[in-house]
Chains A and B, each alone.
Chain A
Amino acid sequence: MQVKSALRNVFRNRRRTAFSLAVIVIGFLVLVSVLGFVQEALQSTKESLASESGAVQVASEGLFENTSSDYDYLISPETLDRVILEASTLDGVIGVSWQLNFAGLVGNEEGSTLIIGQGVVPCSDVQDYECIVIAGDPLEEMSDRQVVLGSALARKLGVVPGDRINIATGTVSGNFNAATVDVSGEMTYAFEDLESQLGLFPISFVQRLLKTDGVERILIGLEDLDDSDAFAAALQARLDAAGIPLVTRTWEELNASYESIRSFYAAFSGLAMIGIAVLVFFSVLEVLTISFLERSREIGTLRAFGTQRGRIFRSFLLEGAFLGVIGAVLGAILSAILLLSFNAIGFTWTPPGAAIPQAIQLRLGTQVILMPIVTVLVSTLLSSTFPSWRNSRIQIVDALRSI
């Protein structure tokens, strides 16, 4: 009967309950929106970083630690094949790619500037550059003398897709080498500094330019980025067992900035959660205090019949808990509808420095719903604790006298 009575009491003053539920539900919706945005932003950042670096990379320790001299970190074609073989025996691999980078000069009749050249496998499942090409075409699968220039670099050189430019750099043996390539496209990049220096080339061209058949790193794409740590450890064990002197690094280890991004979003979410918890706490506290005080005579009656203070305290606390549960359930249902509708509309925005509008999505997941549920339940329970305790301590005679 205690449960039944508490539930009925929740709906006793419907207007007041509606106000409390409205505060809880609005708080819930705000929190779900914030967490949904944060989760989506973090996931997009993860995917974006992993689309450049792969989920796991394999290379010489000297390359990762920046302690190599000259080109002694290069991986031979035989070792590359052995690593691919080892990786392909593990679960979750969606593709393997490899890279060879260089620094050199790029120029035409108008002038020259520095270029950071990335030799990549065109049309790879691991590195998807197609989506950042904003003019012209991406590298073709069988392409050779092609480059996709950073948009800022193309502007600096005054070239457009279809033009030709010259590339010059040192070979692995220290000699000078140069070549002419076609500009196939222009790409945008999150960091404008890099966009004014970056050029993507087919790796076969870069190998000829540097006069080597080696690669500097092997990139492995995984079905689930969250498996990266486990996969990297498993592959490392295989490499060690096979006597291959290379090491593995996950996308997270390779992108130290991700940790600070995640910390920022965690602080942002935490502040939002505290804000909503405080809002719910004080709103519900006020409503429950009035609501409980109005029932002083009932408390006096129940106490007069021999009800212990603990039972009175528990029954009022139960009302607070029911209010929180009902608010959380309503909040969860409404926020799911809100998020799905928002995502269906398909809002977009263009981030600073970017050329392509991006979709704003709010992620709907277990964590996004669970955290607001915990927040509203805890704050509602806390806010009902004090009035419940105070009401359970009221003197019977005073309680019976109240109107």
Chain B
Amino acid sequence: MGTISQFCHEQGRSFLEAQRLTKTYQVGGSTVYALRDVDFTAAQGDFVVINGPSGSGKTTFLNLISAIDRPTEGEVVVEGVSTNTLNEKQLAQLRKEKIGLIFQTFNLIPVLSAAENAEYPLLLQKLSKSERAKRVDAILGEVGLRDLARRRPNELSGGQRQRIAIARALITQPKLVLADEPTANLDSETGAQVMNLMRTLNEEHCVVFIVVTHDPAVTQYARRQIRIHDGCLQEGGAHDVVDTASQPAA
């Protein structure tokens, strides 16, 4: 990546807005609210941690703002464009260009090597082979896995897999990275390493990070903390934990 030490000039500018976001499901003839009238705004450089108990609507919220699901009511606006106005193809384009995703179970493609997994999103952007190779090398260097580039996911530890997943999410230089329980399958030490890495990348790349978790240890990395309960969002206030060096050792 060519912007490793880039200063975040646009910090504070609104990037994503969710307005009266509602998602319901029909269960046995009755309507169940997974998310109810949620308003949310994320600005450039934000590092938001959303926590809440299981079934509170965290993942549903993440699915809606990442444009992989559509709201029942309300809208998600990304850089001034409502996702409700976009068709399937345009939504795919939006995800491809502006959003990076990190999953709880890493979701790496087992038949691809670490480098190929990281490279995959670039294939969708029709970049030249040399440009792809350059970016893969840079991002693997950033997540500290350059030496393991040729390994398949099953030859990597949980922490290493999540680092590859982070590399994959960041390789297209997205403006928004959404992470769903990124530390859930990691031990506490590895989880801390991964969170430190995310914070570092947040600062260096000025990327909005929205992390959904029920792990209390993750909240200490947040600039903003939001609690979600029964489908409703409660702003938990801003944290001042920008100095990643003070976090648990990586």
- Chain A residues within 8 Å of B, Cβ to Cβ: 1-2, 4-5, 8-9, 12, 297-298, 300-309, 311, 396-397, 400
**A302 to B68 alpha-carbon distance, docked (Å):** 11
Q: Does B116 contact A (CB under 8 A)?
A: yes
- Whether the pair A306, B66 counts as a contact (CB closer than 8 A) is no
- Please, which residues of chain B bring their CB within 8 A of the CB of A297? 105, 107
Tally of contacts, chain A with chain B, CB under 8 A: 64
B124 to A: closest C-beta gap in Å: 5
Cβ-defined partner of B92 (8 Å) among A1, A8, A300, A307: A307
The answer to the question of B112 belonging to the interface, with a C-beta cut-off of 8 Å to chain A, is yes
- Tell me how far the C-beta of B132 lies from the nearest C-beta in chain A, rounded to whole angstroms: 10
Q: Which residue of B has the minimal Cβ distance to A12?
A: B111
Provide the main secondary structure of the chain B interface.
Answer: helix
- Complex interface: chain B residues within 8 A of A9 (CB): 111
What is the bound-complex CA distance between A396 and B123, given in angstroms? 19
A-B complex: 8 closest residue pairs judged by Cβ atoms: A306-B96, A8-B111, A301-B107, A306-B95, A396-B68, A306-B92, A397-B69, A305-B121
Are B103's CB and A308's CB within 8 A?
no
Residue of A whose beta carbon sits closest to that of B101: A304
Asked if A396 contacts B109 (CB within 8 A), the reply is no
Residues from chain A with Cβ under 8 Å of B94 in the complex? 306
Known contacts A303-B68, A308-B89, A397-B69; can you find 15 more A-B pairs with CB under 8 A? A2-B123, A4-B116, A5-B109, A5-B111, A5-B116, A8-B111, A297-B107, A303-B92, A304-B66, A304-B68, A305-B121, A305-B124, A307-B124, A308-B92, A396-B68
Chain B's closest residue to A309 (CB) is B88
Inter-chain contact B124/A400, CB cutoff 8 Å: no
Residues of A within 8 A of B96 (CB): 305-307
Judged by a CB distance under 8 angstroms, whether B24 is at the interface is no
1/0 contact trace for B83-114 toward A, CB 8 Å?
00000110011111100010101010111100
| Chain A residues with CB below 8 A from B95, complex form | 304-306
A226 to B88, CA, bound (A): 59
Decide if B110 touches A396 in the complex (CB within 8 Å).
no
Cβ-defined contact, A396 with B69, below 8 A: yes
B40 at the interface (CB under 8 A from A): no
Residue from A1, A298, A300, A304 in contact with B123 in the complex, judged by beta carbons closer than 8 Å: A1
Pair B112/A1 contact, Cβ less than 8 Å: yes
Point out the residue from A300, A306, A308, A400 that lies within 8 Å of B97, measured CB to CB. Answer: A306
Given contacts A305-B121, A306-B121, contact A397 B68 (CB under 8 A): yes
- Which A residues lie within 8 Å of B33 (CB)? none
- A397 — nearest CB in chain B belongs to which residue? B69
What are the residues of chain B within 8 A of A400 when measuring CB–CB?
68, 103, 107
Is B75 in the interface zone, CB < 8 Å from A?
no
Complex CA gap A304/B89 in Å reads 12
Per the bound structure, the CA–CA distance linking A397 and B23 in Å amounts to 13
Q: Which residues of A contact B93 (CB under 8 A)?
A: 306
Determine the residue in chain A with the shortest Cβ distance to B63: A397
User: Which A residues are CB-close (under 8 A) to B17?
Assistant: none
**Cα–Cα, bound, A2→B69 (Å):** 26
Contacts of B101 in A (CB 8 A): 301, 304-305
Q: Return 13 A-B CB contacts under 8 Å, by A number.
A: A5-B112, A12-B110, A12-B111, A298-B109, A301-B103, A301-B107, A301-B109, A303-B92, A306-B94, A306-B97, A306-B121, A307-B92, A400-B107
